[in-house]
Amino acid sequence: MAVTFRKLHPHFGAEAAPIDLRRVHDPETLAAIRAGMDDHALLVFRDQRFSDEEHLDFARRLDGELHTKTGISALKKSRFGNEALADVSNLTDGGQIQPADDRRRMYGLGNRLWHTDASFQDPPGRYSMLFARVIPPVGADTEYADMRAAYDALSPELKVRLEGLRVHHSIAHSREILGFAFSQKEQEILKGAVHPLIRSLPRSGRKSLYIAAHASRIIDWPLPEGRLLLLELIEHATRPEFVYRHQWRVGDLVIYDNRATMHRARPFEDTKYPRELRRVTTLDIQASAATHQA
């Protein structure tokens, strides 16, 4: 099955030609999508019709093992009964809009910070596949930043300075920025993980900044100096020339590489309009022979 891509931004992002991903099983098409991810870091597939199980199955076919230790799972069980299916919505378990003071809503506001999915775990997330089921009639867009282009634009001196640095990533840190309080038990679950500040992408050979809101500190650096540097890098990486803004339609599936991008949700009247997206994220582990052959 042939698949082609139309660029959405000078640096990254592409929209795929019409294709029903539920029916994509052949090795050639799956390999073409992976190659598209290597080139563009973000792919948009319109008019998808996934059930939850079809969404999960496609993610496994494309990229292998799924991420299940989501941050929100430390607070509550998934309303879908499967922790690999992240609930990116403003809905209660009963399908009603969350009230303004709902603890889950307050936690979800952290998605408005620039972040990467599952960087607070080891292994971290690789591909996220975000599927739109309900979109409000007002702006509820998602912005993405190309961390490869941001790295390329650094000065040679700064690139040398950053090489080899390691960063602690914690989803508790990103929520505490907003004043969200965790219990001791939740803190124990959300200890975080350490990853290189500069990541090398195996297939494309490009380098990328790996930072965003979960990045709490640079290991072995004084805390204030390290945090200032991380904030400066986020400011640099989110300059307008590195950012693509996606305007959602029902049926959109956006696949993005967490090693090469970061993203944030844009505000909307979330106590008035429902918005329901579901996300599946794969783990950044060496692909199995079965995945390569899929």
Does residue 291 sit in helix, strand or coil? helix
State the Cα–Cα distance between residues 221 and 231, nearest whole angstrom.
Answer: 14
pLDDT of residue 175: 93
Residue ranges of domains in the chain, CATH in brackets:
5-293 (3.60.130.10)
pLDDT of residue 53: 97
Q: Which two tokens stand for residue 180?
A: 């969200």
State the Cα–Cα distance between residues 267 and 179, nearest whole angstrom.
Answer: 18
* Backbone dihedral angles phi then psi of residue 7, each to the nearest 5 degrees: -65, 140
Does residue 284 sit in helix, strand or coil? coil
What residue type is assigned to position 217 of the chain?
Answer: R
Buried b / exposed e along 162-176 (16+ C-beta atoms within 10 A): beeeebbbbbbbbbe
Which residues of the chain fall short of a pLDDT of 70? 1, 74, 287-294
pLDDT of residue 72: 76
State the Cα–Cα distance between residues 8 and 36, nearest whole angstrom.
Answer: 13
Instruction: Report how far apart, in Å, the C-alpha atoms of 283 and of each of 118, 171, 189 are.
Output: 9, 17, 18
Instruction: Report how far apart, in Å, the C-alpha atoms of 46 and of each of 19, 21, 53 are.
Output: 8, 10, 19
pLDDT of residue 185: 87
What residue type is assigned to position 281 of the chain?
Answer: T
Classify residue 245 by its DSSP letter: E
Q: Shortest CA distance to 125 belongs to which of 211, 39, 66, 198?
A: 66
Q: Shortest CA distance to 115 belongs to which of 191, 171, 196?
A: 171
Please, are residues 72 and 107 in contact by the beta-carbon 8 Å criterion? yes
Instruction: Report how far apart, in Å, the C-alpha atoms of 170 and of each of 44, 212, 217, 277 are.
Output: 28, 10, 9, 23
CA dihedral 95, 257, 221, 192 (to 10 degrees): 40
In the chain, DSSP finds a helix count (H) and a strand count (E) of 9, 15
State the Cα–Cα distance between residues 288 and 178, nearest whole angstrom.
Answer: 39
pLDDT of residue 291: 36
Q: What is the pLDDT of residues 178-223, one digit of tens each?
A: 999 888 888 888 889 999 999 999 999 999 999 999 999 999 999 9
Tell me how far apart the terminal alpha carbons of the chain are, to the nearest angstrom.
Answer: 14
Strands 198-200 vs 193-196: parallel, antiparallel or unpaired: unpaired
Q: Which two tokens stand for residue 115?
A: 């972040």
pTM of the model: 0.94
pLDDT of residue 1: 67
